[in-house]
Amino acid sequence: MLDRVLQEIRARHRFVVTSHARPDGDGIGSALACGQILRVMGKDATIVMHDGVPRIYQNLPFAGRAIQADTVPPNDAVILLECDGLKRTLLQGLEDCFLINIDHHVSGRNFAHINWIDSTVMATAELVYRLARLACVPVAADIATCLYTALMTDTGSFMFEGTNERTFTVARELVLAGADPARCARPIYFGHSTAKIRLLGAALSNLHLEGPLAWIWVTLEQMDRFGAREEDCEGLVNYALSIGDVQVAIFFRELPGQRYRVSLRSKGAVNVSAVAEHFGGGGHKCASGCSVEGPLAIAVSRVLERLRAQPVTVSTP
């Protein structure tokens, strides 16, 4: 399939590269790297993100060239990274475009003209890296920095289930190519806003536990009080997951109109993507998301009900 992707890229000139709304490190890093790889190949590439580049990723190479828009500009093809459908991008005008889908989620779907889905890798960045290699595009330090950041964030700093020697082989090659691990980590792990840390305090004061399940939430009122933005909620769920006996952590963020955005994280024994898919969301086995109708007590009980019914896989070392 990689050959086919490259063949279709070679046959075209003007590209739009995008990822899902509220992009994470893999979505942003892979898109910025992919755009540059296309430019090195002599193509015209525009990165279009519905929500722009989140603050913590704004120092990545090429971030200044990403465009925030609601509609795709004219193009010969759109490359969608990390999306299981057109709706994830929140962009208009994709229906009439030639679409290339590159994804690594188990919930990946064949919605595009060309679909390259490989759920054996930890990040879409690994696929973009393979694309660069096959296209004989030299992976310079700036491309490596984007890809390393993507890989580092999608593996939870190389700690999530599924991280293996192949992940480190790619990481090693990216570091050899010029990615600086400490510099990549700094804005993401040591660059939090004060609002985010205050919001974390509020979320943790709402910590609830039931056996291996932990859940926390933040309200619109709290976000407002601390001047927190949507992206300040990123990663708060991991603090609940960090408790010793907890297998699954859930984060509920209040949305306007009595809905809740739900982030699910698992240490590996429970497949949380099945739960997110039940509510129309998606993701990986260990990290997924969806949104659920409120009020909060109802949203919590619906999600917990699905989780309690979820089979637990006990992995033996």
Binding site for Mn ion (CB under 5 A): 26, 123-124, 154
Cβ of residue 156: shortest distance to Mn ion, in angstroms?
11
Beta bridge partners of 289: 263, 282
Q: Which residue sits closest to Mn ion, CB atoms considered? A: 26
Cβ of residue 153: shortest distance to Mn ion, in angstroms?
8
Task: State the Cα–Cα distance between residues 64 and 277, nearest whole angstrom.
Answer: 34
Closest-CA residue to 139 (of 3, 70, 41): 41
Nearer of residues 124 and 263 to Mn ion, judged by Cβ: 124
Cβ of residue 154: shortest distance to Mn ion, in angstroms?
4
Cβ of residue 273: shortest distance to Mn ion, in angstroms?
12
Nearer of residues 84 and 254 to Mn ion, judged by Cβ: 84
Nearer of residues 117 and 214 to Mn ion, judged by Cβ: 117
Token pair in block for residue 235: 């990663």
Nearer of residues 19 and 75 to Mn ion, judged by Cβ: 19
Please, are residues 206 and 183 in contact by the beta-carbon 8 Å criterion? no
28-42-72-53 Cα dihedral, nearest 10 degrees: 20
Nearer of residues 123 and 171 to Mn ion, judged by Cβ: 123
Please, are residues 33 and 150 in contact by the beta-carbon 8 Å criterion? yes
Nearer of residues 21 and 304 to Mn ion, judged by Cβ: 21
Label the pairing between strands 248-255 and 282-283.
unpaired
Nearer of residues 152 and 240 to Mn ion, judged by Cβ: 152
Cβ of residue 271: shortest distance to Mn ion, in angstroms?
17
Cβ of residue 284: shortest distance to Mn ion, in angstroms?
8
Cβ of residue 168: shortest distance to Mn ion, in angstroms?
17
Nearer of residues 24 and 254 to Mn ion, judged by Cβ: 24
